[in-house]
Amino acid sequence: MKLIAHRGASGTHPENTMAAFKAAWKAGVTAFEFDVQRAKDGTLVVVHDDTLERTGGDPRAVRDLTAAQLKALDAGSWFDATFRGERIPTLEEVAVAAPASCELQLEIKQADPVYEGIERDVLAFLDARPALKARTAVSSFHHDTLLSLRRLDAKVRIGLLPGKLPIDPSFALAAELSAESMHVNLERLTPEWSARAKAAGLKLYVYTIVKPEQAARAAALGADGVFSNFPDITVPS
Ligand code: G3P
Ligand code: CA
């Protein structure tokens, strides 16, 4: 079963930082996941929440700060003092450093109001780097963003995060998107999700796994892969 390092090695390192990604790569993962938003100056940056409160000690919104301002924040201390000085990486920094053998699971995080046109920005970034684009799948909980992405690009790899969307119409949406994968919360996973995914030719990836028994449960329910905060965790083969 495939193990996708969720926000890097985020169980042992501050999520979505180069420290977390490097630890995941060192552990030998074949895929890693991260969250993308847009800074005030248009730079695509890798950070999960729409404000910096939790991971940067600053209540302001990501969208209201430039990349330079975001870079001034300490993105490591909140996790542990030993990570003081870790920074919010840009998408470019992560993409350039990623091993050529690694798949990128790029999740577009939407905010309120939405990052208008972020699909175009992500596509422009990938189109300028064809080899990277080939090993990147783009996902989002924001389904209009995915639909727009597909309208703009017939070939970009898409993974659907149904979130709380019922199983119907999730599979119809996946078909409309020509998605390659469905990413389902372990708490929602049932044999029906897995049977429907297999029938539709979709990979079924399950989040978020922190214990081996959760990986075993996901595997028993038919998952093809798991998003885990611990790249060293034992997963069924
Ligand atoms: O792609 C799975 C997972 O990353 C989705 O949830 O909140 O960790 O971004 P979240
Ligand atoms: Ca994510």
The pLDDT tens digits of the residues spanning 12-59 come to: 999 999 999 999 999 999 999 999 999 999 999 999 999 999 999 999
Q: pLDDT value at position 117?
A: 98
- State the pLDDT confidence band at 152, using cuts at 50, 70 and 90: very high
- State the pLDDT confidence band at 95, using cuts at 50, 70 and 90: very high
- pTM over 0.85, yes/no: yes
Fold of 2-228: TIM Barrel (3.20.20)
Mean pLDDT of 140-152: 98
Q: Is 48 a catalytic residue?
A: yes
The pLDDT tens digits of the residues spanning 110-128 come to: 999 999 999 999 999 999 9
**Angle formed by the axes of helices 143-152 and 118-127, nearest 10°:** 40
Q: Is 6 a catalytic residue?
A: yes
Q: pLDDT value at position 54?
A: 98
CA distance 236 to 104: 22
Q: pLDDT value at position 159?
A: 99
Mean pLDDT of 155-169: 98
Mean pLDDT of 136-162: 98
The whole-chain average pLDDT of the chain stands at 98
Q: Which residues line ligand 1 (CB under 6 A)?
A: 6, 33, 35, 48, 107, 139, 161, 183, 207-208, 227
- State the pLDDT confidence band at 78, using cuts at 50, 70 and 90: very high
User: 113 — phi, psi (to 5°)?
Assistant: -70, 165
Q: Ligand 1 center to residue 168 CA distance, Å? A: 21
Of all residues in the chain, what percent carry a pLDDT higher than 90? 100
Residue boundaries of the structural domains of the chain:
2-228
Pairing of strands 2-6, 225-228: parallel
168, 192 in Cβ contact below 8 A? no
